[in-house]
Amino acid sequence: MEEWTEIRRKVLVEGASKRSIYLEYGIGHQALARILANPEPPGYQMAEVRSKPVLGPHLATIDQILSDDREAPPKQRHTARRIFERLRDEHGYTGCYSQVQTAVKRAKAYSKEAFVPLSHPPGHAQFDFGEAVVEIAGDRTKAALGVITLPYSDTYFLSAYPRECTETFQAAHVAGFAFFGAVPVRISYDNTTIAVTKVMGRERELTRAFLALESHHLFEHHFCRVGRGNEKGHVENHVGYSRRNLLVPVPSFPSWAALNEYLAAACYADLFRRVRGKVGTKAERLSEERAAMLSLPAETFEPRRVVQSHANSLSLVRFDRNDYSVPTAYAHHEVTVLGGIEDVAIASGTTVIARHSRHWGKEHTTFDPLHYLALLERKPGAIDFARPLEDWGLPGCFATLRRRLEADLGHGGTREFIKVLRLLENSSVAALARATEAALAIGATGSDAIALILFHHAERPVGLFSLDGHPHLKSVAIEPPDLTAYRALTAVGS
């Protein structure tokens, strides 16, 4: 390039003759003409496209295979190696694999879709679920990552759950809204079955659970076209960003709550980062964006899934692949299950009859021993074989009480012991244990005696008002009440 510039200056500025340039630089007249005509050396250009006598006849076949692949399942599309094998075996191709590989790469580059950059008004959000492997209490498991983003301010919030379902979908929204301090005016989604029951062209038939979430917070929805997740590319990028930056290496936490505390802290720290091409930090832009968003509702939305179920003959109700007990009085009854993130409540009519901690595995049975005591009172012989009582860690005084009752009353002692256990329906284990120990100490082991001691322990002495510590009240004088009318009534009666 330096010599090119020097030759142009000598001829065009200093007026050197072309002959002197031929002799000095050893170039011909065609080369000199090209130098003088171009400020810089032009790139090499082929006069015509190089022919491909071996692969050329098969290029149309490659294009057709790649075109057909668009309708095939993503994991069952042709690789360059498979296309080479088909050309060789089915079409008589005699060339090498590298030529096919280059042709496939070039064809795919031309067929890739281009997108138009989209503007993001303040207050518009995007939501999506992703997946990542985490370790909770020593067990490796897949986590469903609920991510909600505000593209205008580039703010995002991430929360993790044991599985993607209705109640975790709702919980991810509630947590995100609380983090933003406001509710987006519009949220974009893909066509998840949690929110959409049927797609009818541009119309969507929505689930009751999604409509309840939307009605409570009053945001608008927007669903992407089927198979067009790029319409919410901002949140999809943040799903990958969060997984790479917050969950590598595989994190270990004692509980899901601890994991979500870590993720919330990371999202908060990210607020003080400035995004390339934007003025101010994310926190500053979020503060501006809140003006275009909706206020948080006065009442917090409770994430839960409501289903109708049936209590079987064992007083067990199935919900989300697990069984939960109810009092035996409700066996064979229709019930309503309210499944939340932390617990499962079971109701009959408007009355909650059972509440359990939620189990996120499958085929697990959760018993409450109290639910079976009323039935065991009628069938005391089953107490030693009752599965709900197997892991009931009662204090040792209860075993002592049972032995003494059965020694004194025989078979009737077992029923009397069960009556004592039924006192737990209205008291704590610790309170009943204290009453039982007191009863054993005085030899009053009947259920009525223990109930009386329990009631006595629960009594609180009446507190009398004292002027101590209230000196300003000592100067207050209160006139004694007029009892004339009362005395007149008592005099008439006498």
| pLDDT tens-place string over residues 230-267 | 567 788 889 999 999 999 999 999 999 999 999 999 99
Local structure of 217: helix, strand or coil:
helix
Torsions phi, psi of 353, nearest 5?
Answer: -100, -15
Reported as a single tens digit per residue, the pLDDT across 407-452 is: 999 888 999 999 999 999 999 999 999 999 999 999 888 899 999 9
Distances (CA, A) of 430 to 30, 132, 149, 373, 457: 106, 42, 48, 18, 12
Going by their DSSP bridges, the two strands 343-348 and 316-319 should be labelled as unpaired
Domain spans of the chain, in order of start: 2-37, 56-111, 124-292, 305-366, 373-457
Q: How many CB atoms lie within 10 A of CB 65?
A: 17
Q: What angle do CA 327, 430, 343 make, to 5 degrees?
A: 45
Bridge partners, 323 (sequence order):
318, 365
Residues 297 and 216: beta-carbon distance below 8 Å? yes
**Distance between CA atoms of 218 and 111, rounded to whole angstroms?**
41
Q: Which one-letter DSSP state was computed for residue 474?
A: T
pLDDT at 466 over 90: no
Q: Which residues contact 294 (CB under 8 A, 6 or more apart)?
A: 182, 183, 184, 185, 217, 218, 219
Expressed in angstroms, the distance from the first to the final Cα of the chain is 134
Distances (CA, A) of 419 to 409, 415, 452: 14, 6, 13
Per-residue pLDDT at 347: 96
Q: What angle do CA 4, 5, 9 make, to 5 degrees?
A: 120
Lowest mean pLDDT across 3-17, 190-204, 463-477: 463-477
Quick one: 427 exposed, middle or buried, by C-beta within 10 A (0-12, 13-18, 19+)?
Answer: middle
Helix (H) or strand (E) holding 253: strand 252-253
pLDDT at 32 over 90: no
**Distance between CA atoms of 422 and 399, rounded to whole angstroms?**
15
For the segment 471-490, the average pLDDT, to the nearest whole number, is: 76
**Distance between CA atoms of 176 and 56, rounded to whole angstroms?**
56
Q: What is the DSSP string of 34-102?
A: HHHH-SSPPPP--SSPPP-TTTGGGHHHHHHHHHHHTTS-GGG---HHHHHHHHHHHS---S-HHHHHH
pLDDT at 16 over 90: no
Q: What is the pTM of this model?
A: 0.70
Per-residue pLDDT at 71: 85
Q: Which CATH number fits domain 124-292: 3.30.420.10, 3.40.50.1000, 3.50.50.60, 3.40.50.1980?
A: 3.30.420.10
Give the confidence band of 207 by pLDDT, cuts at 50, 70, 90: very high
Distances (CA, A) of 355 to 48, 359, 389: 80, 12, 17
Q: Which two tokens stand for residue 183?
A: 């509710």
